[in-house]
Amino acid sequence: MAIPDEGPDEGAELIDARGLKCPMPVILLGRRIAKTAAGGRVALVADDPASRLDIPVWCARNGHFLQAEGPWPDDPAARLFTIVAFTAGPSQATRHGLP
């Protein structure tokens, strides 16, 4: 998994979930990714410490690929997650050679 060095990837839709507590960052991610085409990217920035555990587990359980996680510029409490959307669950991610 890559570590982003500055803000979200170009072309990724950004969800700003700073200030929201569990489970809201995951709920917002689920709603957005449901509207994202397979292979599309969604970036989520969250400052809830539970997000560091919740987002990777949610991605694995729902067949999406956590491409990157790292610090959010100018906010040391926030983390940036970049997720690649898949529409067919975990087996689809495995077929593409992704964990």
> What is the separation of C-alpha 87 from the centre of its chain, rounded to a whole number of angstroms?
15
CB 32 within 8 A of CB 61: no
DSSP state of 7: S
The rounded distance, in Å, linking the Cα atoms of 4 and 34 is: 24
Residue 22 catalytic? yes
**The token pair that represents 39 in the structure block:** 């292979």
Among 14, 20, 22, 24, the active-site one is: 22
Pairwise CA distance, residues 86 & 99, whole Å = 12
Active site residues: 22
